[in-house]
Structure formats: C-alpha cells, structure tokens
Structure 1
Amino acid sequence: MKLFPFGHATHPQWQMAAGLVLAQLRAQMARPDYAGAPTLGLLYITDHYAGQARDILDHLSAELPLVTDWTGTVGVGICAGSAEYIDEPALAVMLCAVPPHQYRVFSGVAPLGAGEGMGFEAHAALVHADAQTPELAELLAEMAGRTTSGYLFGGLASSRGPAVQFAVGGNGNMRGQGAASGVFSGGLSGVAFGEEVALVSRVTQGCQPVTAQRRISSAEGNVILSLDGEPALDLLLRELGLSLDEPQEAIATLRATLVGLTSAGSQAVDRTGSFGTDVRVRHIIGLDPGRRGVAVADQVEAGMPMAFCQRHARAARADLMRVCAEIREELEPHEMSLSTATALAADEALAAPSPARRIAGAIYVSCAGRGGPHFGGPSAELQIVRHALGDVPLVGFFAGGEIARHHLYGYTGVLTVFTA
C-alpha cells in the first residue's frame, strides 16, 4: 500500500489555505511512493471556517475530481503531520487509497447498510458525531453493532459555531441524499471499512487515578451513593484530604477531580496504577450532602469499578508514548532481514516512514482539552506521535469527546493507522 497524500495549511482566507493544501497533495500524488489516484478524502477544518464549509467542500471536490467520496468534520483545533492548529483558521486533507469496494460513506440521510445491495460488509468505521444528538450513546452502540468487529473510532465535532460534518459518496450524491450538499449538522456520519482494510487502533488516557479503585455499592441515576459500602462523599473527602468546613479549598480541588468509570466485571485501574482502555472519564457535576452522594456526568450502576482521578500531563505523555510503541511493535516483524533492520535503524534517525512498518496513513482524534499546551508546548502532542511512528501521513482534529469501540471518552486520544 502506497502512502496517502495529505496537506494542511492555515490562512485567514480559506481559498488561500485550500490552494496551499492542493499544491501539497498534487506534488505528493506525482511521487512514486504516494498513491496517485485515491478516491476517499478526509477533510478537517477549524471552526473559523465552519461558515464556509460548503464552499470549501465544493472547491476541493471540483479541484480533485478523482476523489468521489468525502468525510470529515470541524474542530476547535485540527492536526496534521506534526502540527497542531488550535484556535486559528486551518484545514487538513488526507486522500486514502482504499479499494472503492472496501468502504462506504454514510450519514443520517444515507445510513450504513441502507440499500447497499452490493455485498459490502462493514468491519470497522470512522465516525463523526454531533454532541447534541439525542441518545448518542445508544446510537454509537447501534452503529458498532452494524460492524463485524464492533470497533468504531472517531470523535464529536467541536465548534463555537456550526458543528458541521462532511459526507459525500459516489458521484457526489449518496442514495437518499437528494439535493443535499454533503455538509450536515446533527447525528452521525463517517466511513465504514471492509475487512480487507487493515487498521490498528489504540486509545490513550489523559488522566491519572488519585485514589485506589473502588466499587460502586449503590447508585441512583447519575449519583454515586456509596463506594465499597461507605458513603461516596465521605470517602471522596477523606481520600483527597478535604473538609466542607473549608469550602474554598474543597471546591478548587473538587473542580480538578474527575471520575474514571468502567463496566461491571472490568478493572478501572491496572497493576501499574494507570487506567485501562475501557475507562470512561467523567466530570463531577455536584455533591449530595443529604444522601452523602457524588453526582457525575454519566449514568452509574451498582457493581461498576471506579476511581477518582485528575488530569495529569506527565501520565498523558507516558501513555501516548506507550500506545505508539504498541502500534510500532504490532507492525514491525518479529524476524527481519539485515536490510530491513538497517532501514528501521535509519528510520529512527530520520523520523521517516519505513516500508517495514507498513503505515500508509494515520488518523488522530484528541480531546479539545489536550493538545500541545497540555503536553508542554505548541504541537508537543503531535510531535510525540511523529517521533514514535515516523513522518507518516496523518490528519485529525481536537474533539468534544472521543469515540473508540462503542464508548464515548473524554480527555483521551484515539490513534488509528492504515497498514499494508
């Protein structure tokens, strides 16, 4: 599989940014190591361009007539290569050289599996969603159920304006789309991939447990009433060393404290003291002094393991390096020839993509609360990824929530690579 062409740029005028991106794409498509005729485009824009989303899509579609299918969304920030564009006008495009019979673009007006009639079977899916969609968790679970692996990856659009999504299939009009422009708001959209499209995906957590794992003994709705048989509020205050008699100090600490939840039968905290990949981090949204409970931004049930946590830049950096290393290890052969080993060694020095790693392109969806500043400097998060994987084609965005499997996460990153 050849490398996926990609381009990115920032400019106050979207036409200038699009021109710079198109120049990058065309230059790469002319090179023998990049795909020359890809048909699937991924488009991510910052919310500075949200009002011109339709014009941007129309322009790119006209300039790249071989690209018949598009998907993407908007973020308060986007990323490409080793660069992060946060709170500035920017766009990024990656053209994926995936066999046309091995993917399907979908949206709310052209759902996955509706009227296909061509034997396509979804194995996994890249999903973009609107956070305001009713019963979003149920919709994600239903979407995961339409894939053979049950694996989704992606995130929620984040925008201070329109939360737009891009979804164009075939010749520009998906069945059922009618006269729609390919720019949507609300619901889910994205692209499903068949089994022949090899993907490796990992979730990296951004929070560190600050208490031991506990099990919810009793709960009602979104209120944790007791943990390991003890009133939840009492346990929280004790383990954080707080007292409601000193409200200002207590409130400041509680605002920085979150809850890591996972399903009954799982482990919230692993043997290293870190969160596992199934943990969903949620805000504490209130205290219930009358019932000595703690209210969180999710439904909770008795039997669920949990731990109180805080955002932790050092742990987030270490965990991102860990998932990148896992992807590298999965892609590198256990036994290699001398020439392959030499290529890998050179790749380490030059941070260039290596055929031995077989990465054609990557998608990275990170939380809008992460990004370079959380990791110590501008573009620091993406530079960690680049250092670990090499200078591979990569695009993505900073989301209002991250999607992996059928779960909706917060403060995480979801890194997915296309492999040969």
Structure 2
Amino acid sequence: MKRFALAHATHPQWRMAAALVLAQLRAQLALPEHAGAPGLALLYITDHYAEAAHDILDHLSAELPEVTDWAGTVGVGIAATNVEYFDEPAMAVMLCDLAPDQYRVFSGVAPLPAAHGGAGGFVAHTALLHADAQTPDVAELIAEMAERTASGYVFGGLASSRSDTVQFALGSGGHLSGQGAAGGVFHGGLSGVAFGPDVALVSRVTQGAHPVGRTHRVTAADRNVVLSLDGEPALDVLLSALGVSLDEPQVAMTRLRQTLVGLTLDEPQGAGITPQRPGAFGPEVLVRHLIGLDPMRRGIAVADVAPVGAQLSFCERHVGAARADLIRVCAEVREELEPELLSVEAAAMAGAAGAEGPQAPPRMRGAVYVSCTGRGGLHFGGPSAELQIIRRALGDVPLVGFFAAGEIAHHRLYGYTGVLTVFADTA
C-alpha cells in the first residue's frame, strides 16, 4: 500500500474546482511514493455543488478512467489535510491504493452482503458509511449494517446539506438484476465502501461535550421522556444540577438551551468501546438534545429513547474539552501505529503546541475525518483550527472528510463528535 493521493479546491464554478483537483492528483500520481493507478476514490463536495453532483461524478470518472470505484457524499463543510471548507463551494478527492479484492462499494442497488460472505467470497471486516438523515429508522439501519461486517464496526456520518442531499456510490462490482441503468448518485438510504480484513484501520471517536455534575441512573421513563433519575423527579434533578429555578424563567431557559444529555446504555462492552474516563465522555456516551420539559410529570424529554437502567449525564458543549479530547485520540492513533517513533505524551504535546508538529509516521497512508456541523467553522477558535490540531498531532497524512448531521462509529449514531479513521500499511 502506497501513500494516498489527495486533492482539494474551492471555486464558484465546479468545473474550475475539478480542474484544480485533477491537476493536483495527476502531479501526485506521477511521484514514486504514490500508486500510479489506484482504483478507489473518496469524493466529498459542499452543498454549493450538490445540484451538479451527477455532472461532477461523470466528469471526474471520465478524467480518471483508472479509478473504477467512487464513494462519498455532501456536507455543509468538507475537510482536507490542515484545512476545512465551511459554507463555501469546494470539493475534495482522495485516491486510495487498496487491493481490488479488499473493498466493495455498496448502495441500495448494490447491497453489502452479510458478514458470512458474499459474491466472490468477499467478507466485509468494516465499512465507511454515508447516510441520509431523513431515512426512516436510520439508527437501526446503521446497527444492521454493522452486523453485516465481521468486526461489527462501521464509521462515517449523515450527509448534511441545505439543498440536495446526495451520496456517491459507483462500483465496478455491478448492481442488482434490473438495476443496470442506475447511476452513481443516490438520494436517501445508505451507501459507502466496505473493507476486507487485510485493510488495516485505526479508528477513534472524540467527544465535544463536557459533563455537568454527576452521572445518574434512569429509574422511570416513557420512551424518550425521562420521569425519574435515581428515584427522584428528573426535572428536579436537572434544575438542581444546573443551579436554576423555573421561578426565574428567562435565566432558566437560557441555561436549558445550552444543556445536552449524555446517554450510556447498559450494553456489554465491545466493538472497541472503552470505559468512560472520569470528568470526560468516552465513545460509550451518546450525546443527545434536551428537547423539552414535562412539568406535569416532572420529567424531561430527550431526543432519543432513554430506557430504564441507562446512565444519564447532563452536559454542555465545551471548546476546551473538545480540543483536549481531539488531541488525545490523535495521540492514541499515532502511538498505536508507530509506538517506537513517538509516545502518547509527545504526540499530545505536539498537538497542543502551535508548531507544525512531527512528520506523519511511515505506516499512515491516508485518513478520513467526519466531524459534526456543530464543531466546524470557528468552534475550535479559528478557521480550520480543528483540522490543524489533527495535522500537528499526526503529521502530513492525506486526510479527507466532511461535516455531518450525525456521526457514525461502532454501530451507533453520535452527535457533536468527530470520528477519525487512519488507513495503515500492514507491512
């Protein structure tokens, strides 16, 4: 496996952006450290280009005939190495040097086979998912897709767009019978690319919320309405944790609008889940909106089902916590891939410092980063600050991704998180 080729550009006209991207890719493919004819491309566009999605895919695939498979989606922002394009017309393409028998592009007309095997003996070990947030029961479909992989781990995100919500899924493996006319641009459902067991990946979830007060146990609930916590009325527990009273509605509502809920379901640890760290959220916590109050029953309404027995923490978005956790996961990824080159402490110091940081470890071939739309823009303190933290910690690894309406990792749908996945050389 060689270094992945990456190109990105912004321009009011998509054809001009595509020309810039193609020029960058061709220059890189001529270098010895890049594969000359990679078969898989990951394509991400901002929603400014969404209406031209078919034309963009047709143009790029015609200009890069050696690329046989395409996957990607749209976002209000997209990511590339050291830079984000947020609320501006842009596209990014990464060409992945992977063995053809170690990946499969899938969609509604070319579904991913079950974990026990499919056509040609391909077995999905993990998968990059792109999904439409308007798809009914999307969280359940994500869990079902995870079951179709041998590891039970998938990663990706929900497309975000203020116009057309599109997904790219053009595979060389063909379609279901009767679907031969289907193109490579889809609306709704799920699509993506599955990877075989020989594709080495390291993936981490970074949280963007910070707990407020202690963790509680849900002791009574009516689907998404939590009625009691630790045997006490949930609304009373919430007001006490925030230090507000409904007798001062303006003050209370201001604080309540800033409050989120972190849910931890009582499930066996697995699929890479690590225990929650004191004073911070781990990947076992699902951050959800607080969507209402139920004064009659002294309950609170959460934007998810909160079963009895689940753990619940009140939380709020916190820039400092988000920065620290992103530095932590970057350091863990780097330490796992190249422990002899850089310790976790050294990688964390590089990420926290303002310097350019170390070179990318030689085993890193490329990366995908999916971040929440609520984390993009200036949330980290300045334009592209989130991507610059990754660059300082990991080095100059080719990275592509987008800002999502919900992030996917393990078998779950997250919010206010970032999902970082690095492709590594197995040598």
2:371 aligned residue (354, 366, 374) = 366
Q: Is 1:331 the counterpart of 2:340 in the alignment?
A: no
TM-score (norm: length of structure 1): 0.94
Match of 2:382 in 1: 377
Q: Tell whether the 8 Å contact from 1:224 to 1:296 is kept in structure 2 after alignment.
A: yes
Classify the secondary structure of the residue corresponding to 2:382. Answer: coil
Residues 1:63 and 2:70 are matched in the alignment: no
Secondary structure of 1:303's aligned partner: coil
Amino acid at match of 2:175: M
CA distance in 1, matches of 2:276, 2:415: 19
Give the secondary-structure state (helix, strand or coil) at the position aligned to 1:58. helix
- Counterpart AA for 1:403: I
Q: 1:352 Cα shift? A: 3.2
| Residue of 282, 288, 292 corresponding to 2:294 | 288
**Equivalent position amino acid for 1:362 in 2:** A
SS in 1 for 2:378: helix
CA distance in 2, matches of 1:278, 1:238: 25
Name 2:346's counterpart in structure 1: none
Q: Identity rate of aligned residues, in percent? A: 69
Cα deviation, 1:21-77, whole Å, max 9, x if unaligned, reads 001100000001112110000000000000000000000000000000000000000
1:251 equivalent to 2:253? Answer yes
What secondary structure is seen at the aligned counterpart in 2 of 1:322? helix
Show the 5 A alignment for 1:372-411: 372-411=377-416
* 5+ long unaligned stretches in structure 1: 337-343
How high is the TM-score relative to the length of structure 2?
Answer: 0.92
Aligned: 1:25 with 2:32: no
Deviation at 1:349, TM superposition (A): 6.5
In the other structure, the counterpart of 2:83 is 83
Q: For residues 374 and 95 of structure 1, what CA distance do their matches in structure 2 show?
A: 29
Structure 2 counterpart of 1:276, from 276, 282, 285: 282
Equivalent position of 1:151 in the other structure: 153
Q: Is the 8 A contact 1:269 1:275 kept in 2?
A: no
Contact 1:269/1:307, CA 8 A, preserved across alignment: no
Kindly report which structure 2 residues correspond to 1:26-175, keeping only aligned pairs within 5 A, or say none.
26-113=26-113, 116-170=118-172, 173-175=174-176
Counterpart residue number, 2:185: 183
Find the residue that maps to 2:55 and give its secondary structure: helix
After superposition, what is the alpha-carbon deviation per residue over 1:143-162, rounded to whole angstroms, capped at 9, x for unaligned? 00000000000000000011
2:82 & 2:387 partners in 1: Cα distance? 5
Shift in Å at residue 333 of structure 1? 3.8
Q: How far 1:393 sits from its partner (Å)?
A: 0.5
Change (3 A) 1:150 1:269: closer
Cα 1:14–1:265 change in 2 (3 A) is closer
Does the C-alpha gap of structure 1 residues 181 and 330 become closer, same or farther in structure 2, counting only changes over 3 Å? same
**Post-superposition shift, 1:269?**
8.3
List 4+ stretches of structure 1 deviating above 2 A. Answer: 114-117, 173-177, 265-272, 333-336, 348-354
**By how many angstroms is 1:174 displaced?**
3.3
Worse-superposed segment, 240-249 or 312-321: 240-249
Q: In the alignment, residue 372 of structure 2 is paired with which amino acid?
A: C
Separation in structure 2 between the aligned mates of residue 271 and residue 87 of structure 1, nearest angstrom:
34
Kept after mapping to 1: 8 A contact 2:109/2:182: no
SS in structure 1 at match of 2:120: coil
Residue 320 of structure 2 corresponds to residue 308 of structure 1: no
For 1:266 and 1:380, locate their aligned partners in 2 and report how far apart those are by CA, in whole Å: 36
